[in-house]
Structure 1
Amino acid sequence: MKFKIDFKNSRTMTFFIGSVVILFILNIFYGITLNIMIAVSLGFFISFALLSYLYEKNVAQKLRLEILNKEIRIYKNQEDSIRIKITQEGIMPILGGKISLSAGDDIRFVNDISTGIRQHTVTAITFTVMPKSSIIIEVPFTGYSRGVSKIVKAEINIPQIFGFNTLDLKQTGRPDHEIIVYPDRYAVHNEGMENQMIQGSFMQQNALFSDPLRPTGTRNYLPEDSMRAIHWKASAKTGELQTRLYEKTTKITWMILINLRSENSYAPPKNIEETFEKITFITGRATEAGIPYKIITNMVMMDNRTFFKLDEGEGKLHFKHTLETLARINTVTYTLSFERLLRYVQLHEELSTHVIFTGIADTSISADLSILKTKGANVFQLNEYGITPFKADSSEGGRT
């Protein structure tokens, strides 16, 4: 972190220096004889002013601040801390210094002292660092909401040891770190989705974690096998647990389509943050099941005029990219209609076996989703009730 010096004069120190100068002039030009106390005081203040000048010129010259954990990734409501190393390479100590930090409100400092400052959290820490040494201070915080936060303002206040002045250092340049707050995968409203997503909760052709499979036989059960794969009749006959063996006929893939528009306006849906948390949950389950997936939103990338998307992938690394993608999505941005996104998918995207969409499905959206169904995709809707098979002919005009 880089800082610039902002020196502030003290009125008290200015008064003392002015008094010393006046006494000095009167003694030289008018021959005024000073008594011993005044002479001692004069020498004292001259020495004090000289030391104060040397201190303020040198104390910050070799002062270094560095954020040690430049990339912090946490889930919403988790706690962590920013670790800051303060090094004084010079010969001047800093006694009772104070560092003030201001960051975006996607996090909340534990000792937050912000007073009505919009979209910021503020804290202050007192520190002391001796010459040729360093200290590490930790600034605890909590992930408050999905998003990306940075320290946008940092100031260091150094009190004068030999005077009444203050030396302030203000941060310059762009931040060289970031704090990414992921959506809460384990939010309370996600608990009810677990039973919806296990094998057999829907019809075989629609189940998110099922695929048309042909049984080829059984083998002895292994500890890493799923309990749902146990063939209980074969186990009863042999007296040992037997696991079903299947031959895959197709490969399951997911396409998750996120609608960032409300039903009747360009604003994001009121429950969009809850939607992100549910997507975090289901993509985590897809990762555990080894299912590849991709995410497409109706947010438009201004540089190439294409829809913002995460390409298809699988595994833990892909899930990490998913979390970062969801954290970085700006809901207040330029979007196109969800119908436009669906038509783009029809024309330009390789159709996945399972399509999961968010938001309300009105008549026109239902018609486009029905086209995906006729092409062989199993279509699901992610809404406040969880994740359910989409029915275009529902009595609510597709709002299921």
Structure 2
Amino acid sequence: MQIERSVPFWLERRLFPLYVTLTFIFLFIPRLSLLGFFFASLATIHFVVGRTEKQLRKDVAIKWRHYEILMFNKEQTSLQLEVFGIDSLTRLGLEATLRLHTDGSVIFPEMDPLHPATFHATIDSDEALEIPIQTIRRGPAKFDEIIITVRLPWRMGVYLFTFDTYPAFTVLPSLTAQAMPLLLQRLRLGERPDRYSPLKNKLVQLGAKPYTAEPSKEIDWYATAKTGRLQTKVFDTSNQDTFTIALNLSGPSGYGLHQQYEIFIEQTAFLISELLKEGCKIELFLNRLDTLNKMTQLAMKEGQPQLKHVLMLLSTLSTRDVYVATQQFDRYVTRQKYVNSQLIKIECNKIALLS
């Protein structure tokens, strides 16, 4: 903790010895004793202010209680902040105000809408403060300013208490269902795209057969057009449980960061969470270079630990990262992916499920 004080020039520390000296000089000189009493008053005020400052340095402190360092985007919660030494301020007749400021990834929803990243309140007791917060942006988030202001009476000065320890958070991508318009397409060897979802449809079309008495919705019009005879689809239950997710954040040209990359990140997080809920195994490739100048990837695993690793990785993505071009990324994924896994590509406003 550090204390900065702003006081009138006549209360500067260097003047206290001068006031004491002038008091003894003028107090015992006839006709100048009033001037001696004046300097004695200044010295007394100076002494009281100094003692007050020492008391504040000894008593005032803060402690954060019960807050989670991992939060999802758009999540709301409350922080508990305990401020010590307020009873001492009350006995001295002093008023304290608290000011918090964040880096913009976290806001205070109950504060001024024009300045949502700033919180201010008057502190009048040692009871813990409940401070509502809301995350608004994925990635690292923190407080960058915590100040307690104490004002002395009669405008004799202001004390600013600043603190070195700030709460820090990691904001994970949202896992809300609306983040995932499930538009999975299964592209079959250059043929027509066929809508298929590994989450909502457990049946996979194996082929076609001559029509007998099946419902009209099961007619395979594509096969019918090729053979010249009415054909129906043949389905089988899918036992696919290993998936390779390839997240490409490059723009439509194949280079640079896509302007909707945040949507891609949320779609990837939601899709992986749903697949892991179904007991699937997941590996993840990103077209970002890591600190070793290698393609970013997570090995094939399953369960909640894998979901946590995925969310933590996605939370670190930044516009300052280096991203690999689309063609180079596709070749890398094709070579490195798990042999028997189903490849799902997320790129340029589409999610493609590839055989």
In the superposition, the TM-score normalised over structure 1's length comes to 0.65
Could you tell me which of 283, 290, 306 is aligned with 2:272? 283
Do the aligned partners of residues 309 and 96 (structure 1) sit closer, same or farther apart at CA in structure 2, a change above 3 Å counting? farther
Measure the CA separation in 2 of the matches of 1:73 and 1:126.
29
Q: Quote the residue 1:85 is aligned against.
A: 82
Q: Quote the residue 1:101 is aligned against.
A: 100
Measure the CA separation in 2 of the matches of 1:263 and 1:196.
19
**For residues 100-158 of structure 1, what are the alpha-carbon distances to aligned partners after superposition, in whole Å with 9 as ceiling and x for unaligned?**
22212122222456978xxx9222222134xxxx4311221222122220112222222
Do the aligned partners of residues 266 and 90 (structure 1) sit closer, same or farther apart at CA in structure 2, a change above 3 Å counting? farther
- TM-superposed deviation, 1:316: 2.8
| Alignment-mate amino acid for residue 97 of structure 2 | K
Of 178-187 and 328-337, deviating more is 178-187
Secondary structure of 1:270's aligned partner: coil
Measure the CA separation in 2 of the matches of 1:319 and 1:25.
76
| Alignment-mate amino acid for residue 108 of structure 2 | F
Q: Quote the residue 1:126 is aligned against.
A: 122
The answer on 1:297 being equivalent to 2:286 is: yes
- TM-superposed deviation, 1:98: 2.0
- TM-superposed deviation, 1:44: 5.4
- TM-superposed deviation, 1:180: 2.5
- TM-superposed deviation, 1:42: 6.5
Do the aligned partners of residues 161 and 128 (structure 1) sit closer, same or farther apart at CA in structure 2, a change above 3 Å counting? farther
Could you tell me which of 172, 175, 178 is aligned with 1:188? 178
5+ residue gaps, structure 1 = 213-247, 361-382, 392-400
Q: Quote the residue 1:309 is aligned against.
A: 297
Q: Quote the residue 1:55 is aligned against.
A: 52
Do the aligned partners of residues 79 and 270 (structure 1) sit closer, same or farther apart at CA in structure 2, a change above 3 Å counting? same
Do the aligned partners of residues 157 and 255 (structure 1) sit closer, same or farther apart at CA in structure 2, a change above 3 Å counting? same
In the superposition, the TM-score normalised over structure 2's length comes to 0.72
Measure the CA separation in 2 of the matches of 1:265 and 1:24.
81
What is the alpha-carbon root mean square deviation over aligned residues?
4.0
Number of aligned residues: 313
5+ residue gaps, structure 2 = 186-192, 205-236
Q: Percent identity?
A: 15
Q: Quote the residue 2:132 is aligned against.
A: 140
- TM-superposed deviation, 1:70: 4.9
| Alignment-mate amino acid for residue 290 of structure 2 | M
Secondary structure of 1:326's aligned partner: helix
The answer to whether the 8 Å contact 2:101/2:146 transfers is yes
The answer on 1:208 being equivalent to 2:198 is: yes
Measure the CA separation in 1 of the matches of 2:345 and 2:352.
10
Could you tell me which of 304, 312, 316 is aligned with 1:324? 312
Measure the CA separation in 2 of the matches of 1:151 and 1:310.
31
Q: Quote the residue 1:254 is aligned against.
A: 243
Do the aligned partners of residues 351 and 68 (structure 1) sit closer, same or farther apart at CA in structure 2, a change above 3 Å counting? farther
The answer on 1:10 being equivalent to 2:8 is: yes
Matching of residues 222-237 of structure 1 within 5 Å: none
- TM-superposed deviation, 1:170: 2.3
